Amino acid sequence: MHICLWADTGKTFTMLGDDGDDAKGVIPRAVEEIFETIHIRESLGLAHHTVKIDMSEIYNEEVRNLSSMASNDNVVKTKTQALGALKEALSKRAVAKTSRNERSSRSHFIFRLSIYSYNEKMEMCEGALNIIDLAGSEAAYSDATKEVQAEAKVSVSVQVFIALRSMFLRR
């Protein structure tokens, strides 16, 4: 199963949340749920799992790898390790202050969590969760015409496609 969630302007908080249990975003909640399910399945002897996380950003039309786990092929074994890697990647993300937002994202953030599950016969099943948080656009769109906005949306689509393609090729 492959799932892809898109977040548009103003949705970074929804995707990432804030510190504390009450303010968790979609990504931390998904990571926790996935690792809880893996723990249950492995405790019952149903399967063995390998989880990999890739995180990138598109900033000024360049794809930057934000994952710092290259030495272990981006494999994470626990939710704590996965959330720590997420926090580290986000600290590298391009942000800036705008009139509407204290920490507006200046880049598109792409989070990919891949799960490889092996049953007792060593048959593999693969799944992936892709979550994309688009850059804040309040400054770019404030005075823009509808034509400029439409062109910007096409540019965003192309940039995200290129980034996802490069992430798939790295596997």
**Mean pLDDT, the chain, as a whole number?**
77
Question: Per-residue pLDDT averaged across 16-21, rounded?
Answer: 74
What pLDDT, on a 0 to 100 scale, did the predictor assign at position 69?
64
Q: What is the mean pLDDT of residues 19-45?
A: 89
What local confidence, expressed as pLDDT, does residue 149 receive?
46
Residue 98 pLDDT class (50, 70, 90 cuts):
low
- 115 and 50 Cβ atoms separated by less than 8 Å: yes
Domain boundaries, the chain: 2-170
CA distance 98 to 79: 33
Cα 32 from Cα 76, distance rounded (Å): 13
**How large is the average pLDDT for residues 109-134?**
90
What is the predicted pLDDT for the residue at 47? 92
Calculate mean pLDDT across residues 162-169.
60
pLDDT digits (tens, 9 = 90+) for 53-67: 999 988 888 888 998
Are the C-beta atoms of 111 and 168 separated by less than 8 Å? no
Q: What percent of the chain has pLDDT over 70?
A: 63
Region 2-170: CATH code: 3.40.850.10
Identity of the residue numbered 132: I
